[in-house]
Amino acid sequence: MDVPSAAVPLAAPVPGSVLDPVGPVAEQIAGLTWFMIVIGTLLWAATVLFLVLALRHRARRAPRRNTRGAKAFIAGWGVVVPMIVLPAVFAYSLVVGVHISRPAPPQAVDIEVVGYQFWWEVRYPDSGVVTANEVHVPVGRPVRLRLTSADVIHSLWVPPVSGKVDLVPGRENTMTFQVDEPGTYLGECAEFCGIQHARMQFVLVAQPEEEFEEHLRTLQLASSRPDTSLEAAGREVFLAASCGECHRIEDVSGGGVAPAPDLTHLASRDTIAAGMLENTRGNLAGWILDPQGLKPGVRMPPNNLDGDELQALLAYLESLE
Ligand code: HEC
Ligand SMILES: [Cu+2]
């Protein structure tokens, strides 16, 4: 078995760019970004040009000519140009702001996301499915994420899809967007939230409507009942090792003391530990034995299991589709 060491690269895909939008909200933001980049570059280039001209002029010790022209130039460049450029940028950003914060239309898919140190809970209220760190959305349909936090302030950002929206305890913020290109996009926590803030990734999978429905149906129908005696032994290990005090598995444990990712559909996820590790047997084993070694400061204690217990537990966890 391949147990990972501490210096593991993230398993989730690389983050996309704001300048490479895949939906209407992100297109608006990309348009504004380009506008500011172009305006800023032109102004900067012109200013540098004037500076160079001024220095050359002084180097030549050219006699001072008419200072009226110089004063008019300073007033124009220092007052009139900013008075045009700044309101233009302000107006454009207001227009974009209004555009991207419009309420979601009624046919939008509603999904709830709760931020925790250092992972995301994902709930699909219509189907009752609860999972973690991975959200599936249908392509070409508006999506509304209802965002809140269970502890500190987090912020969700999937650059090619939408701007950042904060997850604030005791408050619900919404993020509305649409993804027009199927694909897997990486999101991040964009608000420093503690020691493992940088390893709080979020995977967004945009897929055709039928595949999305199929995915949810599969999760809904999946059962946590063990099929083999090894899996049944694994379920006992899960209960004996107190995993159920934090983790919920449907029909097995309710979670409780400290909330942790719902494991009912663990095997359906591509990554574990908020995008940090690929969901493989070796990584699961390494994680369960020593989560602190992999993600120091994480809110899960290490576990002391012997080989047989670990094998049974892994067999059970891997059956949780
Ligand atoms: C004190 C609470 C607590 C206990 C007890 C606990 N865990 Fe966890 N576990 C967590 C938290 C919190 C996370 C999320 C860590 C993160 O990504 O930041 C987690 C993550 C995981 C994950 C990765 C899930 C995912 O989708 O990312 C697995 C698998 C897991 N735990 C298995 C177990 C097993 C098996 C046991 C018992 C041997 C156990 N845990 C005991 C708190 C706990
Ligand atoms: Cu965070």
CA 201 – CA 158 distance, rounded (Å): 10
Q: Which long-range contacts (CB under 8 A, 24 or more apart) does 78-83 make?
A: 81/43
Structure confidence at residue 193 (pLDDT): 96
- The pTM of this model reads 0.88
Domains, the chain, in order of start with CATH, read: 229-318 (2.60.40.420)
User: From the CA of 117, how far away is ligand 2's center (Å)?
Assistant: 6
Of all protein residues, the one whose alpha carbon is nearest to atom 15 of ligand 1 is: 273
Which amino acid appears at position 296 of this protein? P
Residues in contact with 82: Cβ distance below 8 Å, sequence separation at least 6, in sequence order: none
Residue 149 to residues 153, 169, 270, 295: CA-CA distances in angstroms?
7, 4, 24, 21
Of all protein residues, the one whose alpha carbon is nearest to atom 40 of ligand 1 is: 243
Helix (H) or strand (E) holding 240: helix 229-240
Of all protein residues, the one whose alpha carbon is nearest to atom 30 of ligand 1 is: 288
Q: Is the pLDDT of residue 2 over 60?
A: no
Q: Is the pLDDT of residue 25 over 90?
A: yes
Residues pairing with 147 in the sheet: 113, 173
Taking only the tens place, the pLDDT of each residue in 215-263 is 999 999 888 889 999 999 999 999 999 999 999 998 888 877 788 999 9
Name all residues whose Cβ lies below 6 A of ligand 1. 118-119, 132-133, 196, 238, 241-243, 245-247, 258, 260-261, 266, 269, 272-274, 284, 287-288, 295, 298-301, 303, 313
Residue 82 to residues 79, 88, 321: CA-CA distances in angstroms?
6, 9, 58
Of all protein residues, the one whose alpha carbon is nearest to atom 37 of ligand 1 is: 243
Task: Report the chain's mean pLDDT, rounded to a whole number.
Answer: 90
Residues pairing with 127 in the sheet: none
CA 39 – CA 45 distance, rounded (Å): 10
Helix (H) or strand (E) holding 51: helix 24-59
Q: Do the Cβ atoms of 142 and 177 come closer than 8 Å?
A: yes
CA 20 – CA 36 distance, rounded (Å): 16
Taking only the tens place, the pLDDT of each residue in 105-163 is 988 999 999 999 999 999 999 999 999 999 999 999 999 999 999 999 999 999 999 99
Q: Which structure tokens are listed for 172?
A: 């619900």
Choice from 114, 219, 238, 300 to test ligand 1 binding pocket (greatest atom count within 8 A of CB): 300
Burial of residue 8 (CB within 10 Å: 0-12, 13-18, 19+) is middle
Q: Do the Cβ atoms of 226 and 251 come closer than 8 Å?
A: no
Residue 32 to residues 23, 38, 158, 244: CA-CA distances in angstroms?
14, 10, 17, 48
Of all protein residues, the one whose alpha carbon is nearest to atom 16 of ligand 1 is: 273
CA 156 – CA 189 distance, rounded (Å): 5
Structure confidence at residue 7 (pLDDT): 47
Cis-peptide into 202, omega within 30 deg: no
Q: Is the pLDDT of residue 180 over 70?
A: yes
String of DSSP letters for 126-163: TTTEEEESEEEEETTS-EEEEEEESSS-EEEE-TTT--
- Residues within 5 Å of ion ligand 2 by Cβ? 154, 189, 193, 200
Q: What is the largest CA-CA distance in the chain?
A: 97
User: From the CA of 247, how far away is ligand 1's center (Å)?
Assistant: 7
User: From the CA of 252, how far away is ligand 1's center (Å)?
Assistant: 15
Of all protein residues, the one whose alpha carbon is nearest to atom 34 of ligand 1 is: 243
Structure confidence at residue 9 (pLDDT): 53
% of the chain exceeding 90 in pLDDT:
75
